[in-house]
């Protein structure tokens, strides 16, 4: 064998080794990152950012209709604030509230038992897409409550919600509510008094307009800069910040301090990746961090915690925080959003619909 042949063979071997090595390195570099052995101890969060004092007002997009379609607010300091919504002066009673409910009193000739009331309840507690509730005035406590066995009631009240995120109460839904409430009243020998339908439907539309222009559901997208992430890697890093697994695969939540309240933040990624036969090989290149503003009390500092969480995950997971269009979110942009949110919180407070309150959670649902 000539020296030339040997040299070519050696050179070919070196080239082959280089190709194999490069492919191996590329494969490892592009493989989804896996959880490490550090555990999921909570990470130390950076200090809360400073929010600017300027507060642009919220407004309704003039090109949007005011029908049943709900939409997110737009932020524009050059447009006037929406008209103030009149607040009913009726006294709040029980779980029903005249601010967001149609309330029909049901008078009785005598007392009705809780057992009879429970048996007379409508099979479904909805009129179209709106929740329906019936409460009784407890003979002993003098409080309005859901009917309970063994109790007696001197009066009842039926209510239907004026608006939610599906839109305003309409005539068909109001009529369905009347039918359900009348059937209940007949069963307990009561006499209902229904408000004028057209007045209540008009009030529902006004409330829906207010809610539409003051609804906000924010989201940040965290995108991988280099290597993709495996579901386990995402879950481990999120768990360090207090997130727990949600009901839906591919979703985690940051729970509120009080059990039963909506989560402060949500974090979601591809459901198919979470359900894969071998999740370790699933490649995730982006996460969505979300905040349902009206559902969370402002005292929880939800937006500040959202910013802190996004920054920490981006730093720890080699990612970048962007909007839904892939544009990086700068600090001044987030500051402006934070200022807008303070204005939103103040407006909701002034309408007795404070973010995170029972009424706000019902209206913005």
Q: How do residues 86-138 score in pLDDT, each as one tens digit? A: 434 344 446 999 999 999 999 999 999 999 999 999 999 999 999 999 999 99
Instruction: State residue 332's pLDDT score.
Output: 95
Q: What is the mean pLDDT of residues 264-284?
A: 85
Query: pLDDT band at residue 66, thresholds of 50, 70 and 90?
Result: very low
The CATH H-level superfamily of 101-212 is ZipA, C-terminal FtsZ-binding domain (3.30.1400.10)
Pairing of strands 190-192, 101-113: antiparallel
Distance, CA of 18 to CA of 25 (rounded, Å): 10
Q: Where in the chain is the domain with CATH 3.30.1400.10?
A: 101-212, 216-363
DSSP state for residue 37 in the 8-state scheme:
T
Q: Would you say residue 31 has pLDDT above 50?
A: yes
Select 216-363's CATH number: 3.30.1400.10, 3.40.1410.10, 3.40.190.10, 3.30.70.270: 3.30.1400.10
Across-strand partners of 251?
Answer: 268
Distance, CA of 184 to CA of 153 (rounded, Å): 14
The pLDDT mean for the chain works out to 83
CB-count burial class (<10 Å; 0-12, 13-18, 19+) for 349: middle
Reference 267, options 245, 236, 244, 290; nearest CA is 290
Q: Give the rounded percent of residues in the chain with a pLDDT score beyond 70.
A: 74
Q: What is the mean pLDDT of residues 277-295?
A: 89
Tokens of 136: 């009784």
Q: Give the rounded percent of residues in the chain with a pLDDT score beyond 90.
A: 69
Query: pLDDT band at residue 38, thresholds of 50, 70 and 90?
Result: low
Query: pLDDT band at residue 272, thresholds of 50, 70 and 90?
Result: confident
Instruction: State residue 309's pLDDT score.
Output: 97
């Amino acid at each position: 064998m000539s020296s030339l042949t040997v040299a070519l063979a050696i050179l070919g071997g070196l080239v082959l080794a280089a190709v194999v090595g490069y492919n191996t390195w590329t494969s490892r570099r592009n493989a989804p990152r896996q959880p490490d052995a550090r555990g999921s101890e909570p990470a130390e969060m950076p200090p809360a950012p400073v929010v600017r004092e300027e507060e642009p007002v919220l407004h309704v997009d003039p090109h949007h209709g005011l029908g049943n379609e709900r939409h997110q607010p737009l932020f524009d300091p050059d447009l006037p604030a929406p008209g103030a919504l009149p607040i009913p002066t009726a006294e709040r009673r029980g779980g029903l509230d005249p601010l967001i409910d149609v309330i029909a009193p049901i008078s009785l000739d005598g007392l009705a038992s809780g057992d009879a009331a429970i048996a007379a309840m409508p099979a479904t507690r909805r009129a179209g897409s709106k929740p329906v509730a019936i409460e009784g005035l407890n003979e002993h406590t003098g409080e309005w409550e859901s009917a309970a066995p063994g109790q007696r009631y001197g009066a009842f009240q039926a209510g239907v919600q004026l608006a939610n995120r599906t839109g305003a109460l309409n005539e068909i839904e109001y009529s369905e509510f009347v039918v359900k409430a009348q059937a209940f009243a007949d069963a307990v020998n009561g006499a209902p008094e229904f408000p004028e339908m057209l007045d209540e439907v008009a009030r529902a539309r006004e409330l829906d307009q207010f809610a539409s222009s003051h609804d906000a559901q924010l989201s940040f997208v965290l995108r991988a800069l280099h290597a993709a992430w495996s579901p386990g890697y995402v879950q481990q890093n999120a768990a360090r910040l207090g997130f727990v697994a949600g009901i839906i695969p591919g979703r985690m939540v940051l729970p509120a301090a009080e059990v039963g309240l909506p989560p402060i933040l949500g974090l979601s990624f591809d459901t198919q990746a979470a359900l894969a036969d071998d999740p370790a090989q699933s490649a995730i290149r982006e996460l969505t961090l979300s905040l349902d503003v009206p559902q969370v009390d402002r005292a929880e500092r939800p937006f500040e915690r959202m910013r802190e969480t996004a920054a920490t995950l981006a730093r720890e997971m080699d990612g970048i925080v962007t909007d839904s269009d892939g544009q990086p979110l700068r600090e001044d942009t987030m500051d402006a959003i934070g200022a807008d949110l303070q204005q939103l919180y103040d407006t909701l407070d002034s309408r007795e619909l404070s973010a995170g309150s029972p009424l706000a959670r019902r209206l913005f649902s």
